[in-house]
Chains A and B, each alone.
Chain A
């Protein structure tokens, strides 16, 4: 794992993968969403509003998956002190927050025709809203720690780990409490979904995940480039003051 701790080696790989991930993700997600809009048939009970799931499910998956990735990166930073783990966690936070927000908005737009209401304070919706607030708090904390300099990255890492408690709560909320939100339609090795929805949904989820991977690499490259430029300027300023 520490083989990729060298930023120069990581940057070589990141430069190779950023654009291909973004382009293939945009193409696959675009095709899947076109299928969701024009190809998939209306569902028997939900009618045309079922098409919203092609946007809602991938954004929900990424909203939750991104925080799981922050937790893994935080653990890696705290236990193994991998130098890129904290950078990865910081890079993941913004796309995670964007996808959590998109999940809430598209879910609300689906809830109005399907349930007759934009919002209910039930376990699933409320825990997802809490996740969005956790992202915003993490971003603020990580920015503050970054401004304060070395050693401060432990606090966001601990916050990233503690916040992961919310992920199983979101996942199991529809089983633990009464909810308007339906239980999971896809579980390990089993699906209650018709193939015309299932394959389109899988393609959209893979497409959005590729986009997410590309965005995270781009943001990691941004953080690394900023810190390299800043270190150079600081060194030059110290040299100038010594003369």
Chain B
């Protein structure tokens, strides 16, 4: 604070990393689940 840093740079970086990381986690977990369930359904049909 004493160095006169622009706090918004740190705020934006935190939100970008926090939100980006969470969205990646959700998207990846969802896609993995869909792929695994499709694989299981295919193995059932064979």
Taking beta carbons and an 8 Å cutoff, which residues of A are in contact with B? Answer: 18, 22, 26, 29, 33, 36-37, 46-49, 51-52, 55-56, 59, 94-95, 98, 101-102, 105-106, 109-110, 112-114, 116, 208, 211, 214-215, 218-219, 221-223, 225-226, 228-229, 232-233, 236
Contacts and interface: CB of A to CB of B under 8 A. Distances in A.
B14 A52 contact: yes
A48 to B, nearest CB: 4
Contacts of B25: 94-95, 98, 215
B30 A22 contact: yes
B21 A101 contact: yes
Given A22-B30, A102-B22, A218-B29, A225 B36 contact: yes
Interface of B: 1-3, 5, 7-8, 10-11, 13-15, 17-19, 21-22, 25-26, 29-30, 32-33, 36-37, 39-40, 42-44, 46
A236 B45 CA distance: 12
Contact of A48 (B7, B26, B46): B7
A106 B8 contact: no
A106 B18 contact: yes
B43 A229 contact: yes
Contacts of A218: 29-30, 32-33
A105 B36 CA distance: 31
B25 to A, nearest CB: 5
Contacts of A211: 22, 26
Nearest to A47: B7
A225 B29 contact: no
Contact of B26 (A22, A37, A105, A112): A22
B32 A228 contact: no
Q: Looking at A18, A112, A225, which has the most chain B CB atoms within 10 Å of its CB? A: A225
Complex A-B, nearest 3 residue pairs according to Cβ-Cβ distance, in ascending order: A55-B18, A225-B36, A48-B7
A49 B43 contact: no
B30 A229 contact: no
Given A98-B21, A232-B40, 15 more contacts: A51-B14, A51-B15, A52-B10, A52-B11, A59-B18, A105-B17, A109-B14, A113-B1, A114-B1, A219-B29, A219-B33, A225-B33, A225-B37, A225-B40, A226-B40
